[in-house]
Amino acid sequence: MTTATAPVTGALTAPHRLRWLLRLHRPALYVWTAAVVVLTAALLWLGGPLTDAAVHAWRQYDVCRTGATCVYDQDAILRYKDVYQYTTWAVLALPFLVAAWAGAALTGREVESGTAHLAWTQGVSPARWLAAKLAAPAAVAAAGTAVLVALHRWAWLADHGGIDTAKSWSSFETYYANGPLPVALALAGLAAGALAGLATGRALAALAWGMSATLALWGAVHLAAPRLYPAVTRTAGLDHDGPVGSGIVLDSGIVTADGRHLPDPFCGSSAYSTCQALYERIDAVGFFSVYHPRSHYWPLQLLATAPVLAAAALLALAAFVLLRRRTQGKAATA
C-alpha cells in the first residue's frame, strides 16, 4: 500500500527510514541489547540471591561478634561487593558507550566515507536524515539506561540495611547510578557524538570528542549542583568524635572562639586529654560541617539532570544548524 502511494522521486517514508537505520546499525543494536540484558540479569542477581546471601552472612557475623567461635560466609559478602561494584560502574559507563558510538558510527563514519552525501542526493533532506538518526537511537538509549538505573536503585535498596558494608547513598558511584543523571548523559552523549561526527567528519576524532564532551558535562554538574542548592550547616560540641552530619560534605572542621573555620585535625573527642590540650591551644569551641543530608537527594539530582538535558537539546540543535550551513554552502557553490 505504501509502495503504491510512494512518491516517484524515491524519497523514503518514515517507516522505510527507520528500517534502513536499523539495518545499518544492526550490530550496534545487538551490542546495546546484549549490554542491557546482561546488566539487567546481573542487577536482578545482585538484588535477589546475592543480597540475601550477604545479609545472611552479616547476620552470622553479628552472632560471631558476641560468641567465641566464628563461622560466617565471607565469600557471600565479597561476591556481593564485587558484583555491586562492577554493575555500578557498568551503568555509569553506558552514556560513554552511547557517545562513542554516536560520534564514530552514527554520523562520523558516514560523513567520512561519503555515504551521507549520497543519501542527501537520493531525496532524503539533510535535516530529515539527521532527525531520523537522532530520534530512534535517543529512544533506545534513554529506555535502556532508564531501566538499568531503576534496577540499580532497586538492587541497592534490597538489603534493607542488612549489609554493613553496603555503599552509602552519597558515595560517588552509588549516588549517580541510582538517579536519572545517566539517562540525561546518554542523551547528551548521543547529541554530542552526532555533532562531533558532523563537525570533524572523522570517525575516531568524533568518538574522542563525543566522549570528552560527555565527561566534561558530568564533571561540570558534579561540581556545580551541590553548590547551587542551599546546604545544611551543623555545629557540634568538642565532646563529639568529630564533625557531625554525614552525606555530601562540602566543608567541615573546627570553629574557633572568634568564628574562624580550621581544618579537622582528626584528633577526636575532647574527652582525650591530648585532644583537649590541642583544642585549648587553638581556641576551638566546636565542630562544624556544611553538607547535604539524604533529604536533598532529589533536588540535587534534578539540579544535575536538568542542565544536562538542556545541553543535550542545545547540542542537537547545534548539529542541525551546522548541517544546514554545510549543505546550503555546498548547494550555493555547486
Report the DSSP beta bridge partners of residue 255. Answer: 261, 286
Q: Is 102 in the site for other proteins (CB under 8 A)?
A: no
- Sheet of 232-236: strand order equals 232-236, 284-292, 248-256, 261-263
Site string for other proteins, 133-172 (x = CB under 8 A): ----------------------------------------
d(C-alpha 122, C-alpha 11), whole Å: 7
Of 93 and 224, CB closest to other proteins: 93
Q: Is 258 in the site for other proteins (CB under 8 A)?
A: no
Of 57 and 312, CB closest to other proteins: 57
Q: Is 23 in the site for other proteins (CB under 8 A)?
A: no
Question: Which of 90, 140, 148, 207 is in the footprint of other proteins by CB under 8 A?
Answer: 207
Q: Is 53 in the site for other proteins (CB under 8 A)?
A: no
Q: Is 282 in the site for other proteins (CB under 8 A)?
A: yes
Q: List binders of other proteins among 294-323 (CB under 8 A).
A: none
Distance from CA of residue 27 to its chain's centroid? Answer: 24
Q: Which residues contact 105 (CB under 8 A, 6 or more apart)?
A: 25, 28, 203
173 contacts 88 by C-beta, under 8 angstroms:
yes
User: What distances in angstroms separate CA 290 from CA 221, 231, 234, one per listed residue?
Assistant: 19, 6, 7
d(C-alpha 208, C-alpha 156), whole Å: 32
d(C-alpha 100, C-alpha 35), whole Å: 15
Q: Is 275 in the site for other proteins (CB under 8 A)?
A: yes
Q: Is 104 in the site for other proteins (CB under 8 A)?
A: yes
Question: Which of 43, 105, 132, 312 is in the footprint of other proteins by CB under 8 A?
Answer: 105
Q: Is 42 in the site for other proteins (CB under 8 A)?
A: no
Q: Is 263 in the site for other proteins (CB under 8 A)?
A: yes
Cell of 127: 535535516
Q: List binders of other proteins among 67-86 (CB under 8 A).
A: 78
Of 172 and 298, CB closest to other proteins: 172
